[in-house]
């Protein structure tokens, strides 16, 4: 299954943010085992660097967070077509609109988020981590 992972879930994992870390860790274990192909937008990487640097007060840890993301995930381009699609969507949250446009562009199976409201207008199915984990376990069991 190919899924675009919302920025906040990636940050939950990288920064071990509670109470969300355990679910995010399950998702990254599924990515690491090849059960899921995880996608992130190119713009997510800049957010990760900025937030990780601010959170840890360390450029090196911010670089490690970006490096881990690059290793674990496929990266969706954020080009003019994606930006125009996102801008034209009318969504109030431009970051969410970019993620939806990237998900459509990459033809992923779902977007994984804990912010269901932010993705309510998505034409790509939007799932929680729990729904993804149940889905992949059901396929294998």
Distance of CA 33 to the CA centre of its chain: 17
Residue 75: strand pairing partners: 40
Q: Helices (H), strands (E): how many in the chain?
A: 7, 5
Tell me what pLDDT residue 118 has: 79
The beta strands (E) that lie in 60-109 are given as 74-76
Q: Answer yes or no: are the C-beta atoms of 112 and 119 closer than 8 Å.
A: no
Report the C-alpha gap between 63 and 9 in whole angstroms: 18
Q: C-alpha distances in angstroms, 74 versus 17, 53, 88, 94, 121? A: 23, 22, 25, 21, 24
Q: Within its chain, how far is the Cα of 18 from the centroid?
A: 17
Residue 78's pLDDT is what?
96
Q: Which pLDDT value is given to residue 140?
A: 54
Tens place of pLDDT for every residue, the chain, 141 residues? 999 999 999 999 999 999 999 999 999 999 999 999 999 999 999 999 999 999 999 999 999 999 999 999 999 999 999 999 999 998 989 999 999 999 999 999 999 999 888 788 899 999 999 999 888 877 654
Both tokens of 76, joined, read: 């969706």
Confirm or reject CATH 1.10.760.10 for domain 2-140, answering yes or no.
no
User: Would you state the pLDDT for residue 31?
Assistant: 96
* Cβ pair 98, 82 in contact under 8 A: yes
The two tokens of residue 59 are: 């450029």
What pLDDT shows up at residue 141? 47
Looking at residue 116, what is its pLDDT? 85
Please give the Cα distance from 63 to 32 (Å, whole number).
20
| pLDDT given for residue 120 in this prediction | 85
For tokens 């994992």, name the residue: 13
Q: Give the other-Cβ count within 10 Å of 24's Cβ.
A: 23
Q: What is the pLDDT of residue 99?
A: 95
Domain boundaries along the sequence of the chain: 2-140
């Amino acid at each position: 299954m190919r899924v675009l992972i919302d920025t906040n879930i990636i940050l939950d994992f990288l920064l071990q943010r509670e109470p969300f870390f355990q679910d995010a860790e399950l998702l990254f274990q599924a990515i690491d085992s090849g059960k899921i192909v995880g996608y992130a937008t190119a713009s997510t990487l800049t957010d990760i660097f900025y937030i990780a640097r601010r959170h840890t007060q360390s450029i090196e840890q911010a670089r490690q967070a970006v490096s881990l993301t690059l290793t674990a995930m496929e990266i969706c381009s954020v080009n003019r077509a994606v930006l125009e699609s996102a801008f034209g969507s009318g969504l109030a949250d431009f970051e969410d609109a970019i993620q939806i446009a990237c998900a459509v562009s990459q033809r992923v199976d779902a977007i994984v988020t804990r912010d269901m409201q932010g993705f309510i207008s998505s034409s790509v199915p939007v799932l929680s981590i729990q729904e993804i984990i149940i889905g992949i376990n059901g396929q294998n069991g």
